[in-house]
Amino acid sequence: MNKSTFGRHFTVTTWGESHGKALGAVVDGCPAGLSLSEEDIQKQLDRRKPGQSRYTTARKEGDQVEILSGVFEGRTTGTPISLMVRNMDQRSRDYGNIAYSYRPGHADFTFDSKYGFRDYRGGGRSSGRETLGRVAAGAIALKLLESMGISFCTYTKSIGPVEIQEFHSEEINNNAFYMPDAAAAKKAGEFLEECMKNLDSAGGIIECRIQGVPAGLGTPVFEKLDAVLAQAVMSIGAVKGVEIGEGFHAAEMKGSQDNDGFISDDGVIAKTSNHAGGIMGGISDGSEILVRAAIKPTPSISQPQDTVTDQGENLSLEIHGRHDPVIVPRAVVVVESMCALAIVDALFGNMYARLDKVQEFYKK
Amino acid sequence: MNKSTFGRHFTVTTWGESHGKALGAVVDGCPAGLSLSEEDIQKQLDRRKPGQSRYTTARKEGDQVEILSGVFEGRTTGTPISLMVRNMDQRSRDYGNIAYSYRPGHADFTFDSKYGFRDYRGGGRSSGRETLGRVAAGAIALKLLESMGISFCTYTKSIGPVEIQEFHSEEINNNAFYMPDAAAAKKAGEFLEECMKNLDSAGGIIECRIQGVPAGLGTPVFEKLDAVLAQAVMSIGAVKGVEIGEGFHAAEMKGSQDNDGFISDDGVIAKTSNHAGGIMGGISDGSEILVRAAIKPTPSISQPQDTVTDQGENLSLEIHGRHDPVIVPRAVVVVESMCALAIVDALFGNMYARLDKVQEFYKK
Amino acid sequence: MNKSTFGRHFTVTTWGESHGKALGAVVDGCPAGLSLSEEDIQKQLDRRKPGQSRYTTARKEGDQVEILSGVFEGRTTGTPISLMVRNMDQRSRDYGNIAYSYRPGHADFTFDSKYGFRDYRGGGRSSGRETLGRVAAGAIALKLLESMGISFCTYTKSIGPVEIQEFHSEEINNNAFYMPDAAAAKKAGEFLEECMKNLDSAGGIIECRIQGVPAGLGTPVFEKLDAVLAQAVMSIGAVKGVEIGEGFHAAEMKGSQDNDGFISDDGVIAKTSNHAGGIMGGISDGSEILVRAAIKPTPSISQPQDTVTDQGENLSLEIHGRHDPVIVPRAVVVVESMCALAIVDALFGNMYARLDKVQEFYKK
Amino acid sequence: MNKSTFGRHFTVTTWGESHGKALGAVVDGCPAGLSLSEEDIQKQLDRRKPGQSRYTTARKEGDQVEILSGVFEGRTTGTPISLMVRNMDQRSRDYGNIAYSYRPGHADFTFDSKYGFRDYRGGGRSSGRETLGRVAAGAIALKLLESMGISFCTYTKSIGPVEIQEFHSEEINNNAFYMPDAAAAKKAGEFLEECMKNLDSAGGIIECRIQGVPAGLGTPVFEKLDAVLAQAVMSIGAVKGVEIGEGFHAAEMKGSQDNDGFISDDGVIAKTSNHAGGIMGGISDGSEILVRAAIKPTPSISQPQDTVTDQGENLSLEIHGRHDPVIVPRAVVVVESMCALAIVDALFGNMYARLDKVQEFYKK
């Protein structure tokens, strides 16, 4: 696949920088006939909007999406869907020493190493704003999957050391952290207050549960469904780890504990447990798919940090301006979007796995 | 990328099943001029050979590799390198209820779901033997990277609950588990004896450290170097989790702890720590790359397990024959191979990132 | 490669329909550091603008390009370059029987067959306007190639039965047909007048000559440079044939006539002729590359034509409105753009063909 | 797509050189359930076998194919199918000045330019023997297409200046040239005798007609069905031109002549002619697909030719040994194979073009 393109059958190509004119995505391979409006996409974009709580930046990001192609009379036409969000605020300002020094935890140094120079006005291409294109494209994937009975439940499992103890899906949208546990959300808030007081930041863990995925998606070797999900999720800026099902915990389990048995009820086969997280040998088994992502703490903190300029001079850097003390809540919809893109791609890729089904498809 | 193909510039396509005539790989995109012999590849294949200790199966797997194309007078020609290993033992035998029942923890059920039937003589395409092709191809990648000063150190970090406490690289090849800690290896052996006595199995964690990778490899969005490594490693059969650098631990850290500072010594820029694991914003930063993989316990155990037949009848299954109580040691070279394939691909993909370098390349 | 994406290293993804909000392209894989402005692109777009002579439609197509990303302070950054051209005139009008009948020579019928419905307001995705994205992307490729000493000369070889007899490169931009022969251009004009009087249309042949391409581009098998050029050029709407060098004429030649000999002048090797058109065994040989494309006559003609409605009723259709009696002149820049995209892609793909050159690249 | 891989859904990767140990192909993406034996493949390989007439080389090429993977109990399993043909004769001999001089019309010079050295024992990777892998893979594609009612008729249209005047399909296999016209075949034989007497060689034109292809295959832009066919066919060694339908002749036609009308008979829509060659706007229209390929004369001739050594010394080269005075007859099955590979790939790619069909597919 190409550098800025994800997927093989249903592909998304994102473009745009944090301080450029606009950001967007081109979705290619969406089947004809899906009902689609700008509202469908806006709804998802709004889930990642900042300024929704005191733990996310108050910067004004209008982020109104425009569909430029691929939709006619309210339905997708089968041709590329071009999505664009204009950047509101591109006025020049004094970027101070940010412009020529390497912020710790950011991609400034590696961009200079690779390309010889960089857009110094912000994260550029590696800014979190790039995920706008992913979320816009993901909204289409989610709508398509919903029409086929596939649904997603994505939420924050932990913020720093604060982990959920209970799971109430209806609670997820009731708190600023998208946690399915009100008590944990309260503790997470207290923990973040402390972080902010110390000019520090936090990370966390996101879980995505996918229901209704038919058995048979994914392929046995390099494009295992879990491998593609791993790439999809790890390609999100701050993600440092990905797990499927038991994940790292499986490494400590015994075979007799980790294996999922099968049971038949009048010929209907089901699993007796789901340690595998819905994927066996790289192929979906029809049970719930469980993906987990570790998000590192926000690298932009106001404490003084040791770094260097692009001329190789040592420097103590203080990054001012408002920054999220935690990006986990805003990343929830990004993880969901990437998983949706991977699932819809696998859905199409599975359609020519069996000759009898191909023959039947073309008989009509 | 295709289903059985990994990579964009330096690609490997594996083929073959556990009980077919042969297994192999086609490596395409290897530059001309690399010195290469069958011994170079055999050396790596021997690292994954079973029967080397009482914790790996005693089955006789000769696994002699043959180079069928792409090498002329001891050097690669730039054309596809075809590698083949004949399966020694394909004689038919009675597969008993294995042939028509779904082994827990295996891909039997999902293969039937996807393809309508399967090669019931073993794992078929999802057998661990498929990794022969990966290791053979990886040997070429490793040799190429070695010629450019890039080296790998891959080892077992834990077996079940037994984790290494010390790191002595010279110890890695001294024990059956490829652990860099003799005391931990001893404990791991005791733990496995217990597992075997209970007809059970264990998993573990593998770490791969890569040194000498130049800064600049990888791209900012979907083909982040860590995202590609995640896909590469998660595409190995038993892997359930992947981490880069601090991995899931980063989710509990504060920004002030996780951020790696920079320091300049006479203009030479270095990082003051490496929590990021050598990759920032998806691009290598020149420091050591650290990848970690969680391996689930071997699914084949001799305890009776609840499962069903492919006709939907309930069944208590006992899997006999010799099986590794742990596959972690044999997976070490597979993880290393997949990481090497990802790195060499990124190395080539970076060559056209800057116009001045492209111009310079063609000036000569 | 994806459906709406061309290239492997330097890729272009086009999007947009003739009557949608906008059309555009995303160019990914352009190296950092290329000087680029909207004027550079506009210049090429203007070469395909209609209304420049009485043989091209007078519709007002402003076609002002906007660069939305990937350029910072006048230079490419190495990240995706998003290009957009707004459609000026999208007002609804009565499309009459065009809306529900199949225009002969157009893609109306096949679109309905594939997607179940179509944007009936014009050619939609298969309109000639889609080539705006190709030309915009091609402008970047051309600028990049120019910086490396690679230049293009593209012109009309024939219009209907009128073929050039002489070649004067300075004449190409002096006539409405981009013909390098003033006398032929005059005759072509007369021929077209006759066509228009008869409510008919004409086709023609375009030649693209590429100079300065280094030897070594292309690969020996499926991605032969000529094979990629063939796909590139045949993917242009009205193209029905592609030739390299002698093309179909080679089928009538003898080996002793068609073979290009070599000659050495003080060690500098040159070919004694160029029947091969600059490509041997799929790889460029350093001499001029010659590509030829056959363009069919414009399918939109005002004569009554037999066709059917999408409900299967027979119908005599007359297509009114202004249409080019010949699209060959406007296609010249499109052929050039597609060839440029193919060449720049091959240029990057060749950079990792030899190990010694890879090693040298990374030594610095 | 990769260098030695063709296709996106149904892919073939070929490997091997003319004088290496073996040649072969890996077919990935073949659906499970296709009945397949080595005989099915051998039958096609035998169509390209040399030594079948006095116009093809008498070299002994056993070319027995072996299926190494992907078939179980006579049916494809959905996993990669590895096909291998051993080279019989690899004994070293004296290659004389062939080893260090550039044969006119061959890829010797361009290989050296690209890779720095080459396998001097013959054409290496650019030998016609590479097509063994294509034909073997094509045999699978053809069998699959046959099971869906898609059939091919491929034949020689001309040898040098001798063109067929009549079409009798039953005559195709009655003469050494696969010409559907006995009188033309006789003349072609006389023409070739003359060529051979003069130590010269000839080219020709091959036509491939494909019947039963459903409407809707191909996509509107870069992966137009005709564009993919053009790449497929132009990727065959000696092909210098490709046409669809009227091809270059269309450039001389008027719109009123070239347009294919539609007619409805009781709601069944058909075309009144097929100048388009079965493809409109890049998408199949359900009528016969017509592809034409121009084959250059065999470059190996025994006349003395001017050339240079790889050290840049001028030389008069005489190529001895037996060579086909014409390769057109042997290329017939290669053109057919490449077209079949392109069609089967498009067949799978079309399965997710419409949402209602995707939904219906997964409902069952």
pLDDT single digits (tens) D131-181: 999 999 999 999 999 999 999 999 999 999 999 999 999 999 999 999 999
pLDDT for D239: 98
Backbone torsion region of residue A277, taken as left when φ is above 0, otherwise alpha when ψ lies between -120 and 50, otherwise beta: left
What is the pLDDT confidence band of residue D296, given thresholds at 50, 70 and 90? very high
Which residue from B5, B234, B280 is facing A110, i.e. has the nearest CB? B280
pLDDT for C319: 86
Is the pTM here over 0.90, yes or no? Answer: yes
SS3 state at C294:
strand
Query: Which residue of A36, A66, A67, A77 is the best one to mutate when testing the C interface, meaning the one whose CB has the most C CBs within 10 A?
Result: A77
Q: Looking at CA atoms only, how far is residue D49 from chain A in angstroms?
A: 30
Mean pLDDT confidence for D284-302:
97
Mean pLDDT confidence for C77-82:
98
* Rounded average pLDDT per 10-residue block, chain B, 364 residues: 89 95 97 98 88 59 89 97 88 72 95 93 88 97 98 98 97 96 98 96 98 98 98 98 98 98 93 98 98 97 94 91 88 98 98 98 86
Chain centre distance of CA D99: 28
Q: Confirm if D38 and D66 have CB atoms less than 8 A apart.
A: yes
Among candidate residues D77, D87, D71, the one with its CA nearest the CA of residue D38: D71
Chain centre distance of CA B52: 19
Q: Confirm if C325 and C144 have CB atoms less than 8 A apart.
A: no
Residue A72 has pLDDT above 90, yes or no: yes
Structure tokens at D221: 């832009």
Among all residues of chain B, which has the CA nearest to that of A356? B116
Beta-sheet pairing, C5-6 with C11-16: antiparallel
Chain C touching partners, 3 or more CB pairs below 8 A:
A, B, D
pLDDT for A95: 72
pLDDT for A286: 97
- Residue type, position A154, single letter: T
pLDDT for C175: 95
Which residue from B223, B280, B303 is facing A256, i.e. has the nearest CB? B303
ipTM of the complex: 0.96
Q: Looking at CA atoms only, how far is residue B357 from chain D in angstroms?
A: 19
User: Distance between CA atoms of D222 and C233, rounded to whole angstroms?
Assistant: 9
Which residue from D1, D125, D258 is facing C296, i.e. has the nearest CB? D258
Q: Which residues of A touch D351 (CB under 8 A)?
A: 348, 351-352, 358, 361
3-state helix, strand, coil in chain B (%, to 5): 30, 25, 45
DSSP 8-state class, residue A100 = G
What is the pLDDT confidence band of residue C90, given thresholds at 50, 70 and 90? low
Residue C304 has pLDDT above 60, yes or no: yes
pLDDT for A153: 98
Q: Confirm if A282 and B231 have CB atoms less than 8 A apart.
A: no
Structure tokens at C41: 């692109």
Residue A60 has pLDDT above 70, yes or no: no
Mean pLDDT confidence for D64-73:
97
pLDDT for C133: 97
Which residue from B3, B32, B119 is facing D77, i.e. has the nearest CB? B119
User: Distance between CA atoms of A111 and B120, rounded to whole angstroms?
Assistant: 50
DSSP 8-state class, residue A170 = G
Q: Confirm if A332 and A340 have CB atoms less than 8 A apart.
A: no
Whether residue C117 and residue A17 make contact (CB cut-off 8 A), yes or no, is: no
Chain B touching partners, 3 or more CB pairs below 8 A:
A, C, D
pLDDT for C68: 98
User: Distance between CA atoms of C167 and A124, rounded to whole angstroms?
Assistant: 49
Which residue from A3, A22, A66 is facing C28, i.e. has the nearest CB? A3
H/E element, A207: strand A204-211
Among candidate residues B104, B154, B152, the one with its CA nearest the CA of residue B331: B154
User: Distance between CA atoms of C115 and B136, rounded to whole angstroms?
Assistant: 44
Which residue has tokens 């091997």?
Answer: D16
Buried b (16+ CB within 10 A) or exposed e, A170-187: ebbeebbbbbbbeebbeb
Whether residue B348 and residue C358 make contact (CB cut-off 8 A), yes or no, is: yes
Mean pLDDT confidence for A196-202:
96
Whether residue B29 and residue C76 make contact (CB cut-off 8 A), yes or no, is: no
Q: Which residues of C touch D233 (CB under 8 A)?
A: 230
Mean pLDDT confidence for A254-262:
97
pLDDT for A109: 96
pLDDT for B1: 53
Quick one: angle between helices B131-146 and B328-349, nearest 10?
A: 50
Contacts 24+ apart (CB under 8 A), D316-324: D317/D97, D317/D98, D317/D101, D317/D103, D317/D104, D319/D98, D319/D103, D322/D57, D322/D58, D322/D59, D323/D57, D323/D201, D323/D298, D324/D50, D324/D55, D324/D56, D324/D57, D324/D201, D324/D298
Domains belonging to chain B, first-starting first, are 5-362 (3.60.150.10)
Where helices occur in D37-86 by DSSP H, the ranges are: 38-47
Mean pLDDT confidence for C110-121:
92
Whether residue A357 and residue D144 make contact (CB cut-off 8 A), yes or no, is: no
Return the sign of the alpha-carbon dihedral for residues B93, B94, B95, B101. positive
Structure tokens at D136: 């073997």
Residue A183 has pLDDT above 80, yes or no: yes
Whether residue D13 and residue B80 make contact (CB cut-off 8 A), yes or no, is: yes
Cα angle: D339, vertex D343, D344; to 5 degrees: 120
User: Distance between CA atoms of C220 and D107, rounded to whole angstroms?
Assistant: 9
- Determine the longest span between alpha carbons in chain A, in angstroms: 73
Among all residues of chain B, which has the CA nearest to that of D5? B28
User: Distance between CA atoms of B221 and B283, rounded to whole angstroms?
Assistant: 10
B364 compared with D270, residue with greater pLDDT: D270
Which residue from C348, C353, C361 is facing B78, i.e. has the nearest CB? C353
Residue A57 has pLDDT above 70, yes or no: no
User: Distance between CA atoms of B296 and B285, rounded to whole angstroms?
Assistant: 31
C143 compared with D57, residue with greater pLDDT: C143
User: For C25-75, what is each residue's pLDDT tens digit?
Assistant: 999 999 999 999 999 999 999 998 755 666 665 545 578 999 999 999 999
pLDDT for C54: 66
pLDDT for A1: 53
Residue D194 has pLDDT above 90, yes or no: yes
Chain D touching partners, 3 or more CB pairs below 8 A:
A, B, C
- Residue type, position B349, single letter: G
Mean pLDDT confidence for C166-180:
96
Return the sign of the alpha-carbon dihedral for residues B182, B186, B191, B192. positive
Output the CA–CA distances (angstroms, integers) from residue A184 to A246, A336, D87, D187, D320, in the order listed. Answer: 22, 21, 69, 89, 84
**Rounded percentage of chain C residues whose pLDDT exceeds 70:** 95
Among candidate residues B7, B210, B118, the one with its CA nearest the CA of residue A222: B7
User: For A324-333, what is each residue's pLDDT tens digit?
Assistant: 899 999 999 9
DSSP 8-state class, residue D260 = P
Q: Which residues of A touch D79 (CB under 8 A)?
A: 220
What is the pLDDT confidence band of residue C222, given thresholds at 50, 70 and 90? very high
User: Distance between CA atoms of C79 and C69, rounded to whole angstroms?
Assistant: 8
Buried b (16+ CB within 10 A) or exposed e, D317-342: bebeeebbbbbbbbbbbbbbbbbbbb
Q: Which residues of C touch D246 (CB under 8 A)?
A: 240, 296
SS3 state at C17:
coil
